[in-house]
Amino acid sequence: NKPFVYYCAALAMDWQENSSAANDHLQQALFMGVQDPGTRQEILSLQGLVLYTLQDVAASAKAYAEARSAFRETPLLLARIALGSNENPDIAFNTAKRAIELDPLNREAALALAFALYRRNQLPDALQALQPALFSHNPQALELIGNIHFRQGAVQEALSFWEQARTNGNSSARLL
């Protein structure tokens, strides 16, 4: 299944923070005419997140809209929409809450909810959303926990979590 291979390659590129290459792979997967509606939805939702990372907000919104309107609502789709909606924390929060309602143990939905709460300056709630058992090695979550501690004035705790994020593969420019 070639479109699925391109989807997997795009996931790998996104994980390595090579959003441009990830988008190229997703475009190739869509060009091949994905037959399975669920796979198409996954590709479009990942493309929405990648395009948002590339700061193409209009194209990101278009990909999310197509993924959302054409197929079923899934926690993963909603979490990606929430992560891509952080310029509007209320939309991000409501979308992430819906994802959590559908699947309370979904890690991506929990991370999306934590980011939305952080943007709304609801720091204790954001920390609670990032249950350490779920995110002990997730570099994005560790960086966010560090950011929350820093905002709360706990600089040493923030430095510790940022170091863990860097050690676990986060190559965010803020941590280098």
Q: Tokens 């948002």 — which residue?
A: 52
Asked if 100 contacts 76 with a C-beta cutoff of 8 angstroms, the reply is: no
CA distance 39 to 5: 11
* pLDDT given at position 176: 42
Give the residue from 88, 61, 86, 87 showing the smallest Cα distance to 111.
86
* pLDDT given at position 154: 94
Q: What is the pLDDT of residues 62-86, one digit of tens each?
A: 887 887 776 667 777 777 777 776 6
pLDDT above 70 coverage of the chain, percent: 80
For residue 43, pLDDT over 60 is answered with: yes
Q: What is the pLDDT of residues 98-142, one digit of tens each?
A: 888 888 888 888 888 998 899 899 999 999 998 755 666 788 888
**Which pair of structure tokens corresponds to residue 55?**
């700061």
Give the residue from 37, 47, 113 showing the smallest Cα distance to 75.
113
For residue 57, pLDDT over 60 is answered with: yes
For residue 1, pLDDT over 80 is answered with: no
Question: Which distant-in-sequence residues (6+ apart) come within 8 Å of 83 by Cβ?
Answer: 49, 52, 92, 108, 111, 112, 115
Handedness of CA 98, 100, 106, 110 (dihedral sign): positive
Buried b (16+ CB within 10 A) or exposed e, 1-20: eebeebbebbbebbeeeebe
For residue 7, pLDDT over 90 is answered with: no
Give the residue from 29, 49, 24, 50 showing the smallest Cα distance to 39.
29
Name which residue leads in pLDDT, 35 or 29: 29
pTM score = 0.61
**Which pair of structure tokens corresponds to residue 159?**
């430095």
